Amino acid sequence: MVSIMPDVKLGEKTGKLSEDELNMFITHAYKKVLHLQQELAKQQTLEQERFKKALDNQKVEIQMLGSEKIEEELVKQARKLEIDHMKRMNIIKEDAERAIRAQLTRQAAAHSDHLQDLLGVQEAELKRKH
């Protein structure tokens, strides 16, 4: 008892606690229990806040990692699409160049034939006139 309430000398005279002393002891014990309960509630609240904050931080970290992975995947897909696009463009360009060469060859042949025909007509006219 002395360790709990050092300032108060309980039960000095008879070794037993009087009703007032017992009430004082119970009140002191009750206040101590209330104080400890309040401290426990405060600690639980602080611990819950720390846990919530840690959980939020972990969620943010997971989202960032997920975002980074998505970003990496998007960059990879963009590179692949760019390469595929360049290959298709090269194929289209080669096909177009081939078609243009073929058309130019046909036009050159047609022009050459036309010139041959004109020369033949002029030659025939010159022979007829002379």
Tens-binned pLDDT, residue by residue, of the chain (130 aa) = 555 555 555 555 555 767 877 788 788 889 999 999 999 999 999 999 999 999 999 999 999 998 999 999 999 999 999 999 999 999 999 999 999 999 999 999 999 999 999 999 999 999 998 7
Give phi and psi for 114, each to the nearest 5: -65, -45
Contact by Cβ (8 Å): 13, 20: no
Contact by Cβ (8 Å): 40, 56: no
The residue with tokens 């017992």 is: 22
- In this predicted structure, what is the pLDDT of residue 12? 55
- In this predicted structure, what is the pLDDT of residue 22? 79
Half-sphere exposure of residue 27: CA atoms within 13 angstroms, side-chain side: 6
